[in-house]
Structure 1
Amino acid sequence: MQPCSNLAFALSALAIAIKLAPAAMAATPPPLAIPAVAVKAGASALQVRWESGAREARFVITNPDSKPLPPAGWAIYFNSMAGIETGALDGGLALEQVGGALYRLRPGAGFPGVAPGQALTVAYRHTDVLNRISKAPTGPYLVFDDASATGLAIGDYQAGMPGAVPGAAPTPQAIYQRNALADDLPAGALPPIFPTPRSLAPHGGQLRVAAMPRVTAPSSLINEAALAHAIFRRHFSANAGGAAAANVANANANAASAASAASGPPLRLELRPIAGPSSPEAYELRVDPVAGIAIAGNTAAGVAMGLQSLRDLLPVEASAAFDLPALAVSDAPRFPHRGLLLDVSRNFQRKETVFRLLDQMARYKLNTLHFHLTDDEGWRIEIAGIPELTAIGARRGHESGPVATRLEPAYGSGSGVDDPHGGGYYTRADYIEILRYAAARHIDVIPEIEMPGHARAAVKAMEARHRRLEKSRPAEARRYLLSDADDRSVYKSPQLYTDHVMNPGLESTFTFIERVVAEVAALHKRAGVPLKTMHVGGDELPDGAWEKSPRAAALMKRRNIDSTAGLWDYFYDRVATILRKRGLGASGWEEMGARKVMAGGKAKLIPNPVFSRRGFQLYVWNNTEGAEDLAYRLANGGYDVVLAPVTNLYFDMAHNASAEEPGVDWNGPVELDRVYDFIPYDYLRNADIDPARKLGKEGLGDDGRRRIRGLEGTLFTETVRDPALIDYLTMPRMLALAERAWAADPAWATEPDGAKAKVLHRAAWSGFVNALGKRVLPRLDLEDGGVRYRIAPPGLMIEGGRVMANHQLPGLALRYTTDGSDPTMASALVSGPISEHGAIAVAAFDRNGRRGWVSRIDHP
């Protein structure tokens, strides 16, 4: 085994890189190639090292300066996603929680200081098991009491986990056995279109394509005509289609007519009713050796889906002439909602990053961006007339004093307000541009405004607004206030906040919500992209909220509300009314339509009858212990449901249990096969649940089945400080989501005989991973080489005196070395069993030479 290399992803705008200490690992992470940002002048000269065991951790603080770190008058601040035992420490120091996940280390009485050249070891404990590098402290900075408003970044910071929980990372042998559940298939046996279409009938013959096709389309399909040219542009010169546009968003009005100058086969695009499926995205695709290519759709969205299927038929490698197989495809999606959540609150992402993600979604026929715009750590959309929402709520950074002008640092954003992920928001023009970009790709954008919990950015911004106006315009100051100054409720959120909940006892809370809803709806109208529903949060309201608020108590008395559960119903009845006045549906997390009751001494969520026939659409993430069937119970109870189960579709979860894998793990890893194996209408069938616990669980009734609206992958971004990690965490898992959301249940999912189902599953899984490794991802490499999807570690096994190697995605090139060094593109190809001896290291490479995880095995 070899020491693991550096995990080179940036943890702050000040290039605070996490570097792993040497440890015996089964695999070495790939280079993520995320650029560091230069440390600014004025940063602290301190060197800080952090390392951990299972719960015990320590900082080693070295002072390389010529001046001592004094015995008093300073503090080191940092964020930690793992809870910390605060209080006095040995050596005269103390750890304190500042707020949320922001902590500080301070000297106390008897602390001697740190002399020049001296190193100080600070031991402490975490309340969480430290099994993943994402739990390491991030964003450390130094503050001196006599300059308390200034944070000095600690640029020389390293973190390692030599004492991480042993045995958690999958071994090369375990990976080999898992990979061996799929067969290596020849190219001719692979499904030609992805995701799997409803029906595909091969016809005799082929269509020769030796020049840009002659595209004809009505004016209503101008965007689709431009997409048709873009699909063929890699094979033929850009001007062969006349005025073909560079992309859908830039299609010019002459593209369809000018395309007649091309000399290739005809490509006809049309709108007409498609026999059978009623979906607006239904389409027919025909390739005929004589008549050419024809795509018809129920709507323009259907035509666009047909074009994406046509793209799959083109050769992976660019070619000046090729043959397309003659065939007929009739296709439509299984679910109307095929979505992806992007959280831009925890770590902000530029609009260009959003555009790029929308392009990938459109390519694989996803049609809904769930845009998580607000949360405790950031408000990311400009609202006219309420400047504090972005002036305060969209800025994070260190400050001192009682008057807040920003949110505190979170997720390693550090002390400076100029951190590009801690700070930032979309102007109204930005948001309109995103809406139009998405609409051109037939993707709906559902904005999420979190409430009543997860609302700290809004709560603190409106408190700042109140302070600004309370003397000059007291009535206006109270207009949008979200918090009761006399509230003494005691609660704590999972993110450790105690001051982040909107108060329903204030009429100003609903005035605020109404204003935000009106402004967001107006932006959609200006974009020409009408808003149909708004996601209004509802998750993780902590126990204890509102219980000691005088304003909430007064409301409860006036309305004869006997519990905070009744207060919840009152809150969302008001919110739904606000939405309904603007013609909008109400969407939210599962708690919005659930009620907590006690059953057998345990808390249980049941469908809330108050809203069950109000048309609420619930996004159900919780399928963990006790709530495995919650989504089905809610659907059977009258709610429309989008399935977003944490066990299968949370893409912020790490791929596996290796401590080095990016992502979180609060509900365990989500490997590619866990996404693929999800059965939307019967997910309890193959879930990892004790059979005894399946007893009494509820399945879908006929009405409940009709209420399953679709699937959604979820990317919360607590650990995502760079767009490269968006690629890494979503791809190729997004492809399994696309298959499961578009295509009908595969035969293995409905086969009652377990042995037969296993055989069917192997055949289907083999087709899926071979298609990804040999067609889908290579095409992505060559068409858009910037998508840095995860390349999994190879599996390795010694059999018969030779090293056997395989990969999750057959078709990716494997290369190896025998001296333990990381393979490169110059290393030998794995073409069969490896007979050489030594420290064998194997890695997979994409078509552009990018290396994935390195697996290692000793072969004496």
Structure 2
Amino acid sequence: MDLIPAPRSLRRTEPGAAFVVDGRTRVDAGPGTERTERWLRGVLAGAFGVGLPPGEGAGALALRVDGSLGTESYRLTVRPDRAELVGGDPAGLFWGAQTLRQLLGPDAFRRAPIGAREARLPCVTVEDAPRFAWRGMLLDVARHFMPKDVVLRYLDLLAAHKLNVLHLHLTDDQGWRLEIRRYPKLTEVGAWRTRTKVGLRESTLWDERPHGGYYTQDDIREIVAYAAEREITVVPEIDVPGHSQAAIAAYPELGNTDVVDTTTLPVLTSWGVNPNVLAPTDTTVRFYENVLSEVLELFPATFVHIGGDECPKEQWSASLTAKNRLVDLELADEHELQSWFIAHFDRWLAERGRRLIGWDEILQGGLAPKAAVSSWRGYAGGIAAARAGHDVVMCPEQYVYLDHRQADGPDEPVPIGFVRTLEDVYRFEPVPAELTAQEAAHVMGTQANVWTEVLDSVRAVDYMAFPRLAAFAEVAWSALPAPAERDFAAFSARMRAHYVRLDALGVEYRPPGGPRPWQRRPGVVGRPIEGPPPIV
């Protein structure tokens, strides 16, 4: 029945028979089902114009929570006279509702009825549970700001694919996107750049329009609440000590003032690794403690991402302040100085009941005791962290960076990175074979990352994210065989139905035959990497 992601078990119990959802259908909702009841009633009322009032007995759609089923698991049983959806917890119930929606056909993904079409659930029994607890997508709103409605839309798209983590990349050299009331210049100054490089550094093209935007704290509260209604956790990223020029532009004392005139640094208008990093001073540490205090008030997630990637050490090497810090802390080199910086916030967050997660560069100089690792430069960082007993999210750029090009042809828009086709993503395996069972247990899950240096609109994000995010969702959720044994032909067949769902949702995905004319970006220089991606 073309479900994506594929469930663990699906049986058609009465071929040809169906449970009809219409004006007579009632919802029999038990304790703990409130979120799913609200969501399901709203979706089906919009798509089919049905009210779904409360009621029991024959013709009812029953919602239940039964802890014996297990975390995030569900069982859907459909008979002609009754449909019952049981979740192992509220999250499992909600994921079951996503399956129910798919079974109702593509019209269930529309916001208003398009005619007198009957909503029919085929008679089936579905039993399902996810492989990983962390099934995420990173959305980079720092490089190109995505308005709040785009973020809310992507939360709906994640939910439709049973993905449960939205990693919001909120700060970088090119923009600071989160209101911090104690430091208003972070958004007054840091949220805006004067122009934007079109393409990567090799490009000579510029968009001369100022670019920017940010989320107010109430916007974030709304995003977090909207996500929670969909059983999604929002993980904020506040990047330190690199990728911080927007913050330095707003508050120059944060930079290495004895090496560069930080008062002249603007919010960065181009891309790439940037030498202007935070100074390793008490002033900087206190500043970011205050920032994170407000972040913790807004985001209830256990994990807070602090970046830690691509931090050049040249300014620290030239800085007398940094050298004195090395002596005071009895550190060997600048790598240990970065480790000290990360370890400080590891302790600070732990004292407040939270956990630090960072990119795999935080392994350099020694990993903080409680930190988790986002392994992006291949598998090696994740393997090292798991073997050391640290939790890991696998997101290697060679496989699941969805800003990388989808084909090798000249029509692909802004071709950067490796060619990663739909099949390549479908054959991605998050758990390296060389890990023992005990080490593999530290792989919390996996994440696809959507960086937006060359994605300047929601249309461009849609094109790069889909359909590959659907393949990634199956990798993250389903109990798939080894990569070489996965049946991509069968997945492709199911995708034919899923493309119709995406059409109903208004997703401007890449068609199987290549980009449509308006999805191309002729003349914009990228940085394609030739050859097969290395496994490192």
- Residue 35 of structure 2 aligns with which residue? 223
Match of 2:228 among 419, 439, 455: 439
- Residue 532 of structure 2 aligns with which residue? none
User: What is the rounded CA distance, in whole Å, between the counterparts of 1:324 and 1:359 in structure 2?
Assistant: 22
Residue 652 of structure 1: how far off its partner (Å):
0.7
User: What is the rounded CA distance, in whole Å, between the counterparts of 1:678 and 1:319 in structure 2?
Assistant: 42
- Residue 738 of structure 1 aligns with which residue? 473
Paired residues for 1:253-272 under 5 Å: 258-260=53-55, 265-272=59-66
Quickly say closer, same or farther: Cα 1:265–1:646, change in 2 above 3 A.
same
AA partner of residue 18 (structure 2) = L
Q: Is the 8 A contact 1:679 1:745 kept in 2?
A: no
Q: Taking structure 2 as the reference length, what is the TM-score of the superposition?
A: 0.86
- Residue 523 of structure 1 aligns with which residue? 298
Residue 497 of structure 1: how far off its partner (Å):
6.1
Quickly say closer, same or farther: Cα 1:396–1:220, change in 2 above 3 A.
same
Is residue 319 of structure 2 the alignment partner of residue 508 of structure 1?
no
1:735-770 Cα shifts (integer Å, max 9, x gaps) = 001000000122x54xxxxxxx5xx54xx2111111
Q: Is the 8 A contact 1:589 1:618 kept in 2?
A: yes
Q: Is the 8 A contact 2:363 2:381 kept in 1?
A: no
Quickly say closer, same or farther: Cα 1:659–1:542, change in 2 above 3 A.
farther
User: What is the rounded CA distance, in whole Å, between the counterparts of 1:192 and 1:671 in structure 2?
Assistant: 20
Is residue 430 of structure 2 the alignment partner of residue 680 of structure 1?
yes
User: What is the rounded CA distance, in whole Å, between the counterparts of 1:617 and 1:650 in structure 2?
Assistant: 20
What stretches of structure 1 of length at least 5 have no aligned partner? 1-190, 242-257, 398-407, 464-480, 525-529, 596-607, 684-698, 750-756, 795-842, 845-849, 854-860
Is residue 152 of structure 2 the alignment partner of residue 355 of structure 1?
yes
1:367-414 Cα shifts (integer Å, max 9, x gaps) = 0000000000000000012111011110111xxxxxxxxxx6444774
- Residue 791 of structure 1 aligns with which residue? 511
Residue 459 of structure 1: how far off its partner (Å):
1.4
SS of 1:285's equivalent in the other structure is strand
- Residue 175 of structure 1 aligns with which residue? none
Match of 1:637 among 388, 399, 403: 388
User: What is the rounded CA distance, in whole Å, between the counterparts of 2:302 and 2:95 in structure 1?
Assistant: 22
SS of 2:145's equivalent in the other structure is coil
Match of 2:98 among 273, 284, 308: 308
- Residue 202 of structure 2 aligns with which residue? none
AA partner of residue 792 (structure 1) = P
- Residue 302 of structure 2 aligns with which residue? 532
Residue 553 of structure 1: how far off its partner (Å):
1.2
Is residue 80 of structure 2 the alignment partner of residue 329 of structure 1?
no
Q: Is the 8 A contact 2:305 2:357 kept in 1?
A: yes
User: What is the rounded CA distance, in whole Å, between the counterparts of 1:515 and 1:352 in structure 2?
Assistant: 28
Paired residues for 1:205-216 under 5 Å: 206-209=17-20, 211-212=22-23, 213-216=25-28
Paired residues for 1:535-684 under 5 Å: 535-595=305-365, 608=366, 610-611=367-368, 614-623=369-378, 629-665=380-416, 667-682=417-432
- Residue 5 of structure 2 aligns with which residue? 195
1:601-660 Cα shifts (integer Å, max 9, x gaps) = xxxxxxx3x53xx2311111112xxxx544223212222111111111001111112233
Quickly say closer, same or farther: Cα 1:486–1:679, change in 2 above 3 A.
same
User: What is the rounded CA distance, in whole Å, between the counterparts of 1:325 and 1:415 in structure 2?
Assistant: 54
Q: Is the 8 A contact 1:274 1:284 kept in 2?
A: no
Quickly say closer, same or farther: Cα 1:568–1:584, change in 2 above 3 A.
same
SS of 1:340's equivalent in the other structure is strand
Residue 461 of structure 1: how far off its partner (Å):
1.0
Quickly say closer, same or farther: Cα 1:485–1:359, change in 2 above 3 A.
same
User: What is the rounded CA distance, in whole Å, between the counterparts of 2:351 and 2:76 in structure 1?
Assistant: 42
Is residue 139 of structure 2 the alignment partner of residue 346 of structure 1?
no
For these two proteins, the number of residue pairs brought into alignment is 498
Q: Taking structure 1 as the reference length, what is the TM-score of the superposition?
A: 0.55
User: What is the rounded CA distance, in whole Å, between the counterparts of 1:499 and 1:204 in structure 2?
Assistant: 65
Identity %: 32
Quickly say closer, same or farther: Cα 1:728–1:659, change in 2 above 3 A.
same
Is residue 87 of structure 2 the alignment partner of residue 293 of structure 1?
no
Quickly say closer, same or farther: Cα 1:311–1:428, change in 2 above 3 A.
same
User: What is the rounded CA distance, in whole Å, between the counterparts of 1:731 and 1:617 in structure 2?
Assistant: 28
Q: Is the 8 A contact 1:634 1:641 kept in 2?
A: yes
User: What is the rounded CA distance, in whole Å, between the counterparts of 1:450 and 1:375 in structure 2?
Assistant: 6
- Residue 494 of structure 2 aligns with which residue? 771
User: What is the rounded CA distance, in whole Å, between the counterparts of 1:583 and 1:388 in structure 2?
Assistant: 29
* Richer in helix (by share): 2
Residue 429 of structure 1: how far off its partner (Å):
1.2
Q: Is the 8 A contact 1:394 1:424 kept in 2?
A: yes
**RMSD over equivalenced CA pairs, Å:** 2.7
User: What is the rounded CA distance, in whole Å, between the counterparts of 1:365 and 1:651 in structure 2?
Assistant: 18
Q: Is the 8 A contact 2:2 2:498 kept in 1?
A: no
AA partner of residue 20 (structure 2) = V
User: What is the rounded CA distance, in whole Å, between the counterparts of 1:352 and 1:336 in structure 2?
Assistant: 27
What stretches of structure 2 of length at least 5 have no aligned partner? 108-114, 199-204, 262-267, 521-536
User: What is the rounded CA distance, in whole Å, between the counterparts of 1:381 and 1:413 in structure 2?
Assistant: 26
1:206-241 Cα shifts (integer Å, max 9, x gaps) = 334162431121464333113223443466434x43
